[in-house]
Structure 1
Amino acid sequence: MKIEQIYTGCLAQGAYYIVSENEAAIIDPLRETKPYIERLEKDGVKLKYIFETHFHADFVSGHLDLSKKTGAPIVYGPTAEPDFEAIIAEDNQIFEIGNIKIKVLHTPGHTLESSTFLLSDEDGRETAIFSGDTLFLGDVGRPDLAQKAAHMTQQQLAGMLYESLQSKIMPLADDITVYPAHGAGSACGKNMQKETVDTLGNQKKTNYALNQPDKESFVREVLDGLSAPPKYFGMNVALNKGGYSSFEEVLEKGNNPLDTEAFQNLAEESGALILDTRSAADFHKGFIPNSVNIGLKGDFAPWVGAMIVDVQQPILLVCDSGTEEEVITRLSRVGFDNVLGYLYGGFESWKNSNKETDSIHRISPQEFAEQFNENSKVIDVRKESEYEAEHVEYAFRRPLADIGEWASTIDDREHFFIHCAGGYRSMIAASILNSRGIRNFSEVDGGFNKIKETGIPKSNFVCQSKI
């Protein structure tokens, strides 16, 4: 038996490839199927089942494309109602792959169809659980995503999750390995550990959610401090449940090089958003007016989802040469399939054609310290927990995820400084504000990580783990 975790850092997502004898199973695959097909061919095995722990909200699964290419059926837990052919398993139903078995444990709470897959090895010993978004390392799945579809409150769903964990997960042996669907950085939980694999026994000891004295305490603690989910989540659920275009079609459509004239004409005709995926260090020096910067070398896909939201939005790309296919692939992972093409030769071709450009005023932390005084207006776009841990004194907390709400409150007649932790998120914010005509600001290079090395007054530090 072989179990391989295929972890994608940008999404903090774990897919699983399992082989026994001449058969394989894949759990929660990503959108592009090539990595899985290559593994199957290399191992000379047949894909027998594609297991989905639930209808994912934060990414588009590759279940449909993978099923079409291999003939393997898709398996969901009880109560799932996909708009395509699939096996809807019963609670405790067993599936055989080679000499191993996978039992479906219905564990609703994160969503109503959420299920955990319990693996028994060749000797019949219960070895591992693939817990999806039911149980993370250090946390459990957020119980507020399925409220509308389930016609239930988040408190009711949290109570259901408690019952699932107590009846299905906690009775399992301590030496069982836990393979979750997500790790630290995912918006599907709030307190995940950086590790991606652990034993159930250790989680019973260290996971706050598994150490609550009763259901009431569990519900209160799991819901406490839960931020609003990214707005694109519902659209991804719809794609995973209802279907989508094949990845190959999306890649072929988007992989469309355009010269500067064709790019400009298409932008004007289509109303496409110009997405510049270069680094903040390059973007601020010069870019196409009204471009939005979300750097590829960062949490690219989740921030695209959070900032653009509408997966149907037409997009034109400005990329570093050679990264175009990677950008289109990573966009497709969160359902943004409507890429119309990219600027051939990147921003340099635009600049060399003498077309209009724009820039962001970026300053060093030292310059910030020199210009800062008690009357300075500072906007901190980090998450609430980061801000509460430590921030520039009197800085305004304005999380990037909420920029759609707070951008309209900015008075552009008054200069302000803007920063995040390192410069990635603040440049996203700067580009969005700039595209809305808000330009009277300075963005701080290096963010708070560098600001705190200066003499600028800061709040007292509070450990984030205790917030």
Structure 2
Amino acid sequence: MKVEQIYTGCLAQGAYYIVSENEAAIIDPLREVSPYIARLEKDKVKLEYIFETHFHADFVSGHLDLSQKTGAPIVYGPTANPEFDAIIAGDEQIFEIGKVKIKALHTPGHTMESTTYLLIDENGKETAIFSGDTLFLGDVGRPDLAQKSASMTQEELAGLLYDSLQKKIMPLADDITVYPAHGAGSACGKNMQKETVDTLGNQKRTNYALNQPDKESFVTEVLDGLSAPPKYFGMNVAMNKSGYASFDDVMKKGKNPLSVEDFVTIAENTDALILDTRGAADFHKGFVPNSINIGVKGDFAPWVGAMIVDVNQPIILVSDAGTEEEVITRLSRVGFDNVLGYLDGSFEAWKNAGKEIDEVKRISPQQFADAFKPEDKVIDVRKIGEYSAEHINDAYHRPLAEISEWVDSIDDTEHFFLHCAGGYRSMIAASIFNARGIRNFTEVEGGFNGIKKTEKVATTDFVCQSKTL
């Protein structure tokens, strides 16, 4: 038996590949399925089942393409109602893969169909659980996402999650391995550990949610401090439930090189958004006017989802040459399939054609420290936990994830400094400001991390972030 975790850092997502004898199963596959098919061919095994722990909100699964290419059936847990052919498992139904077995344990609470899959080895020993978004390392799945579809309050869903954990997960042996669907950085939880694999026994000891004295306390603690879910989550759920275009077709459509003139024509005559995926260090020096910068070398897909929201939004790309396929792939992982093409020759082609160029004023942390006066306005776009832990005295907190709610309140007659933790998020914000005609600001390279190292700017006392969620 072989169990492989296939972890994708930018989504903080774990897919799983299980092999026994000449048969295999895959749990929660990503959108692009060629890596899985390559593994199957290399191992000379047949894919027997594609297991889905639930209808994912934060990414588009590859279940449909993988099933179409391999003939393997898709399996969901009880109460799931997908708009395509699938096996709807009964609670405790067993599936055989080679000499091992996988038992479906219905664990509703995060969603109604949420299911944990229990792996039983060749000797009949229960060895691992693939817990989806039911149990994370250090946390449990947020119970506020499925309220509408379940016709339940978040408190009722949290109570259901408590029952699932107590009845289905906690009775299992301590030496069982926990393989969750997500790790630290995912918006599906609030307190996840950086590790991606653990024992159930250690989670019983250390996971705050598993150590509540009763259901009422569990509900209170699990719901406390939840930030609003990203607005694209509902669209991803719909795609996972109803279907989507083949990834091959999405890639073929998006890998369309556009001349400068064709790029201009699309930009001026459609509602296409110009997405510049170059790094902040290059973007600020020059970019196509009205471009939104979200660097591909970062938490790209989640920020695309949070900033653009509408998965049907037409997009034209400005990307570093040779990265176009990666960008289109990562966009598709969160359902942004409507890429119309990319600027052939990247930004250099635009510049060489003599087209108008925009810029963002950026200074180093040391330059900021030397110029900063206590009366200067500073906007900090980090998350609430980061800001609460430590920030520049009197800095305004304006989270990037909520920029659509506060950007119109910016007074462009008053200069302000802009920063995040390291410069990635603040350049996203800067590009949005520029596109809206807000230009009286200076962005700080290296963000708060760099500013703090100068030891010249007064900040609040540090508070451990784990206490500020």
- TM-score, shorter chain, exceeding 0.5: yes
Aligned to 1:457: 458
Deviations 1:218-274 (A, max 9, x none): 111111110000000000000000000000000000000011001110111222000
Deviations 1:101-156 (A, max 9, x none): 00000000000000000000000000000000000000000000001111111111
Superposition CA RMSD, Å: 0.5
- The answer to whether structure 1 residue 123 and structure 2 residue 123 are counterparts is yes
- Following superposition of structure 1 onto structure 2, how do residues 56-455 of structure 1 map, counting pairs within 5 Å? 56-454=56-454, 455=456
The whole-number CA distance in structure 2 between the counterparts of 1:62 and 1:461 is 42
The whole-number CA distance in structure 2 between the counterparts of 1:246 and 1:102 is 28
Deviations 1:338-386 (A, max 9, x none): 0000000000000000000100010111121122112111000000000
Report percent identity of matched pairs. 79
Aligned to 2:53: 53
Equivalent residue letter for 2:464: C
Deviation at 1:393, TM superposition (A): 0.2
For 2:11, what is the secondary structure of its paired residue?
Answer: coil
The whole-number CA distance in structure 1 between the counterparts of 2:215 and 2:385 is 26
Deviations 1:156-187 (A, max 9, x none): 11111000000000000000000000000000
For 1:282, what is the secondary structure of its paired residue?
Answer: helix
The whole-number CA distance in structure 2 between the counterparts of 1:319 and 1:120 is 46
**5+ unaligned residues in a row in structure 1: which ranges?**
none
Equivalent residue letter for 2:418: I
For 1:327, what is the secondary structure of its paired residue?
Answer: helix
Displaced runs of 4 or more, over 3 A? none
**5+ unaligned residues in a row in structure 2: which ranges?**
none
For 1:221, what is the secondary structure of its paired residue?
Answer: helix
Equivalent residue letter for 1:465: S
The whole-number CA distance in structure 2 between the counterparts of 1:197 and 1:164 is 21
The whole-number CA distance in structure 1 between the counterparts of 2:80 and 2:286 is 49
Equivalent residue letter for 1:456: V
The whole-number CA distance in structure 2 between the counterparts of 1:418 and 1:214 is 44
The whole-number CA distance in structure 2 between the counterparts of 1:209 and 1:144 is 15
The whole-number CA distance in structure 1 between the counterparts of 2:340 and 2:269 is 12
Deviation at 1:453, TM superposition (A): 1.7
- The answer to whether structure 1 residue 43 and structure 2 residue 43 are counterparts is yes
Aligned to 1:466: 467
The whole-number CA distance in structure 2 between the counterparts of 1:383 and 1:405 is 15
